[in-house]
Amino acid sequence: MEPDDSPTPLIHHARALAIKFVPCTASMFATAGGFGALAVSEIRPVHDMGIWTACGIVIGWLGCFTLFPAMQSLLHVPMRSGRTAAGKWFPRFVEMLVPASRRYRWVAVVGAVALMLCGAAALWGITRPGRSHSARGWRC
């Protein structure tokens, strides 16, 4: 646990849960709802993936906000003595990455659009004008 001004670990748990409960709950249930919407699919693997993933996210939410804090209290997890440094290389990497990403943002956008077009061509195929996939004997 990260150190703060809490007098006891139980108060630390209560503060941490109070801060994280609403944003984590909203994001996890929105994600579970999105995957749960796949349950209306007639494609069996997509249907099953949606249901299993939505259930897994809800179970993960239950574990995060019930089991994990209880286990921390039960096992008396020690507090860290101080903050852990990010490392010596990370600040230099960020100082290089931010200006480079700003300078070459148009290259990144053009590259992303090119990859999107390649994905669309792979998904729908590239055919000559006047010739459809069904003329090749493919079933859609």
Q: Report if pTM > 0.85.
A: no
Query: What total number of domains does the chain contain?
Result: 2
138 is a domain residue: no
107 and 63 within one domain: no
* Residue 136 forms part of a structural domain: no
Same domain, 59 and 103: no
Residue 134, pLDDT score: 55
Tell me the residue range of the domain where 111 lies.
89-127
| Grouped pLDDT means (10 residues each) for the chain, 140 residues | 65 82 93 95 94 96 86 74 70 89 92 94 76 54
Query: Is residue 103 located within the same domain as residue 70?
Result: no
The 3-state secondary structure of the chain reads CCCCCCCCHHHHHHHHHHHHHHHHHHHHHHHHHHHHHHHHCCCHHHHHHHHHHHHHHHHHHHHHHHHHHHHHHHHCCCCCCCCCCCCCHHHHHHHHHHHHHHHCHHHHHHHHHHHHHHHHHHHHCCCCCCCCHHHHCCCC
Residue 102 domain-assigned (yes or no): yes
Residues 122 and 79 in one domain: no
